Amino acid sequence: MDKIKNLLQQVSIISKKYDQIAKLTGENFNIFSLMNMEHNEVYTHSAIIGELLNPNGSHGQGAIFLNLFVEYIKECFNTEEHKIELDYFGTLVNDKICERTINIENNWDNVTGGRIDIIVEDNKQILLIENKIYAIDQPYQLIRYKNYAETKRSKKAFLFYLTLDGKDLKEKEDPYYTQDDVEIIGFNFKFDKKSEYENFRIQSNGKSNIHHCLYYPISFEKDIKNWIEKCLEKTHSLPIIRETLIQYLNLIKKLTNQTTNNIKTMEILEILKDNIDQSFEISRSIEPLKSKLYYDFFENILQYASKKEISADLSNLKNNAYFGLYLIPKEWNSKPYTIAVIFDTDHGYDYSGLYVSLNFNDNISDIEKISIQKKFDNIIPKFEINHANIWRDISNRDWANNSKIWEDVAKGKNGDTYKEIISTIEEIIEIEKS
């Protein structure tokens, strides 16, 4: 036990040292974090990337940033076997770079529709970027965009799948049946399978139910970070743009674990190497510690709910990819919706993606749903709205391996995470009542 205490003390000393460095450099101050906009794909990441790529953007620097992006992409995908044919852009045919809507509703007869996150188009080529931070992939998403691009006749089209770490799309989409009972089949080909893709196109030519796309995976971790760094080199005499890019670059590093914390980790590893038995003993205690803190935290929410005469459904507290609490205020007993405090994660126990929402039940009518949705329009801070629920992410949304958040969680009712969740629950109840 003394060895474990000594090890923890050494780690604590290193941790405090790097926390002090972050304090002195101001690394922890980030405007996007303060505004709870770190993970917002549309209004943070697509908006910034799209504005930089727009030659007519508010930065006033013409096509400099767009050209840097094209240069970087050509370098990344420039091998003898897989050379990308992307060219520099001429005059764009549309100044709207972000969130261009093809169709609000997907058209499954010709597999099109949706909203393209980022689109750059001139008279010869069209570049489309699907931006995914934490949102799940939608069915046939890049295929639908590729089919849209093909309506541009002779233009070359390039589809980029942007994620935090550059992950691949699944190769085969789930089959879909149209109203006429036609089976739609879709395939996503990664750029390094271009020859296979071309053969497949020839073989499936004339088969209207088979759809496909060729895409290029890129990441925030490497590609967007490197491009932003190249953009920074062009902004020495542009202080406002430069400071904005530095803030955004720091956000990218934070989301992809590339901050000072990584250096701290390497130093801690050297100490752990000399204390392997004790390190494993501590390691075995981490998940049980998280579990205890999690249940203690939600017990505090249950106590709040009981005090406010809010009933709770505990059946989903810890059993699948969407786990947490469902709450029904007393006055909602006969209403077709509930409040959820949920972790949205594909990994089950990863403690990430925490949000508070108003969830629609299956028996809600369209009129009731629209009426509720209208009440949440234009609320600041913003609520996200879709057909299934109305939600807002919690600032400390990704507990996972974030020790600072777990420290706050351990504070229970005195922690910022608890206070924000309770505040959001009460806000939802008040808005619904209005």
Measured CA distances, 322 to 286, 355, 357 (Å): 22, 11, 13
Residues paired with residue 131 on neighbouring β-strands, in sequence order: 162
Tokens 């789930």 belong to which residue?
A: 174
Query: How many Å apart are CA 228 and CA 246, to the nearest integer?
Result: 8
Identify the three-state secondary structure at position 392.
Answer: strand
One-letter amino acid for residue 155 of the chain: K
Query: How many Å apart are CA 298 and CA 166, to the nearest integer?
Result: 34
> H or E segment at 74?
helix 64-76
Radius of gyration of the chain (CA): 24
Residue 320: the pLDDT is 64
In the chain the first and final C-alpha atoms are separated, in Å, by 57
pTM: 0.64
Query: How many Å apart are CA 212 and CA 309, to the nearest integer?
Result: 53
Measured CA distances, 409 to 12, 28, 366, 419 (Å): 19, 19, 38, 10
Residue 347: the pLDDT is 46
Q: Which residues of the chain are under the pLDDT cut of 50? A: 347-348
pLDDT tens by residue, 156-181: 999 999 999 999 999 999 888 877 78
Measured CA distances, 392 to 26, 234, 295, 343, 355 (Å): 28, 37, 22, 12, 6
Q: Under a CB-based contact definition with an 8 Å cutoff, are residues 253 and 259 in contact?
A: yes
pLDDT tens by residue, 229-285: 999 999 999 999 999 999 999 999 988 878 777 678 778 888 888 888 888 988 899
Q: DSSP letters along 136-177, please?
A: PPPTTHHHHHHHHHHTTTT-EEEEEEEESS-PPPPSBPPPEE
